[in-house]
Structure 1
């Protein structure tokens, strides 16, 4: 039986260690994803839903003003009472 000394496997261990170093350095160099947003997309992003709601509210206020001026605005007493109760109970704010 031929038993080789332990030093014979040292070359394999060195090769493994060198390969491990190469793999670790490749992981640190890995590229990251990136994205570019066009100027049109940026302007759309800047226009939030709050602005859209504000525009809708302005239109609603204008229509109410016109109906009050014309004398055609009608207050629904049930809706008014429900709203008052919710405010009094603290479920809704002005």
Structure 2
């Protein structure tokens, strides 16, 4: 579980990021979860865009993906959301205490 200070720090980093994945009308599939899992291991922090033709909201997608990948929900703004998971082998982000 991340603290409010850590969440704020991650929001600052995510502000300049572009979304690297999109969720469309197919929603969240098993292969999509696998790709997110690999991206979290490589980058730790990722931003995802939910397209207008998706049947899910950004909040629903974020909670489902965070649970499926054992990640932390950071923020959701409009159609985009950010999730974080500390990498085991490729640690890049040093969170404040």
Question: Which one has the bigger strand percentage?
Answer: 2
Structure number with higher helix proportion: 1
Name the larger-Rg structure.
1
TM bracket, shorter-chain basis: under 0.3
Give TM-score, length-normalised by structure 2: 0.20
Q: With structure 1 as the length reference, what TM-score do the two structures score?
A: 0.21
Q: Which has the higher contact order (CA 8 A, sep 6+)?
A: 2
